[in-house]
Amino acid sequence: MKNSSKVPDEKSVISKASGAKADIYVEQGHKVWFGDLFLEVRATPDHTLGCITYFTGDASDQPQPRMAFTGDAVLIRGCGRTDFQGGSSEQLYKSVHSQIFTLPEDTLIYPAHDYKGFTVSTVGEELRYNERLTKDEETFENIMASTSYKI
């Protein structure tokens, strides 16, 4: 895929499940290398079908504490909408709880954006304080279906 970047040999990387065009497609378990460092891919749909979380490895030569770049799957004290682009509140809940909340509690979470200006949280903080994802699955689905729930 041709891009207008001024960085030589830059490649676009995206989830294979997204259906979008890119130079490199990734899916669950793939590793994206940056010299001696890598990010591992975990599939975390369903803000959109192609949502993935990149996280740093747990080997001694990788950054510690671990980091997770969650896109819109987990926001700080919230999560991305599930009412468009093939989203599913049931699947998002399962994705987050099985793929992100199983990481060590000191794992740093960096979402794609935040509506209140925060930039980082931890798995432990989100397990305790996330206003949506700390609920049981049925309550979470009701919250996500509600048009009056504010981010």
Give pLDDT tens digits for 45-61.
777 778 899 999 888 88
6 located within any domain? no
Residues 67-85: what's their mean pLDDT? Answer: 89
Domain membership of residue 4 (yes or no) is no
pLDDT at 103 over 50: yes
In a domain, 1, yes or no: no
**Does 72 fall in a domain?**
yes
Residue 124 covered by a domain: yes
In this prediction, residue 3 carries a pLDDT of: 55
CATH number at residue 124: 3.60.15.10
Burial class (CB in 10 A: 0-12, 13-18, 19+), 132: buried
Q: What confidence tier does 151 reach under pLDDT thresholds 50, 70, 90?
A: very low
Number of compact structural domains in the chain: 1
How much helix, strand and coil, in percent to the nearest 5, is found in the chain? 20, 25, 55
